[in-house]
Amino acid sequence: MTQRRVEIATEDGTSGASLHLPDGPGPWPAVIMYPDAGGLRDAFLDMGERLAGLGYVTLVPDFYYRHGGFAPFDMRTVFGEPAERARLMGLVGSVTADMAVRDARAYVEYLTSLPEVAGTSVGTTGYCMGGRLSLIVAGHLGDAVAAAASFHGGNIASATDPESPHLLAGAVTASVYVAGASDDASFPAEQRDRLEQALSEADVRHTIETYPAAHGFAVADNPTYDPGAAQRHWDALAGHYSTSLPRPSA
């Protein structure tokens, strides 16, 4: 695979990102991979490479670019250190749904302009905070997103959040795959049921599963990383994209 750092002009500035290209002849479908709250870092560079190895041009954006860069977090200790936790949550709170949608339009335009990319629609996937962004983007970009996924996404069907992704179900044209965790206070059973109802009533093609794991199961530098659940996530993602975001020759 080929990996390179890229810069993408957005309405709010210039977003850095990591671009990962599959080996062999293209063109290939494209995917935006949204990191978790820890942002763009080595763990997600590895994940971008792995998704590219499955045959997808993968863009992993730095959604904190408006801050001009940030010191990486140690995800194994960040929530136990008050100052680091406060720094992390400050960054998380700085990314609004409107910002994410504006950025996503620029990411899609960039990806679909590449000669290595097939078609005018992309896939999205995301983790924790990024799972929420993946679904928000699918709810705003219509046919530009063909397949959306969320893994241990937090607060994706909140009854008190006016920007909750489940409220966008009626605008989603993508197929949707959501994997929650059995041990995850940010996506309890009532949110799962609320999301299921919203997607079903909107006739969105979807699958919602609960993995017997903890929040953060798919990301290797999280203390709750679960190799078995992570492999299940890769298998599910490959299957989801193979039907909803296939290669042109497929």
Q: In whole angstroms, what is the distance from residue 158 CA to residue 154 CA?
A: 9
For 234-247, give one letter per residue: b (16+ CB within 10 A) or e.
Answer: eebbeebbeebbeb
Domain assignment of residue 250, yes or no: no
Going edge to edge, which strands form the sheet with 175-183? 2-10, 13-21, 57-61, 30-34, 122-126, 145-151, 175-183, 206-214
User: How many domains is the chain partitioned into structurally?
Assistant: 1
Question: What is the domain-level CATH number for residue 8?
Answer: 3.40.50.1820
Question: What is the domain range of residue 19?
Answer: 2-244
pLDDT tens by residue, the chain, 250 residues? 789 999 999 999 999 999 999 998 889 999 999 999 999 999 999 999 999 999 999 999 999 999 988 888 999 999 999 999 999 999 999 999 999 999 999 999 999 999 999 999 999 999 999 999 999 999 999 999 999 999 999 999 999 999 999 999 999 999 999 999 999 999 999 999 999 999 999 999 999 999 999 999 999 999 999 999 999 999 999 999 999 998 776 4
Give 227-248 pLDDT, tens digit per residue: 999 999 999 999 999 999 987 7
What local confidence, expressed as pLDDT, does residue 121 receive? 97
Domain assignment of residue 154, yes or no: yes
Which of these, 143, 51, 145, lies nearest to 135 by C-alpha position? 145
Domain assignment of residue 170, yes or no: yes
What local confidence, expressed as pLDDT, does residue 247 receive? 79
Which of these, 164, 171, 165, lies nearest to 149 by C-alpha position? 165
The answer to whether the predicted template modeling score (pTM) of the entire model surpasses 0.85 is: yes
Q: How open is the CA angle 174-97-118, to the nearest 5 degrees?
A: 35
Domain assignment of residue 249, yes or no: no
What local confidence, expressed as pLDDT, does residue 249 receive? 63
Domain assignment of residue 80, yes or no: yes
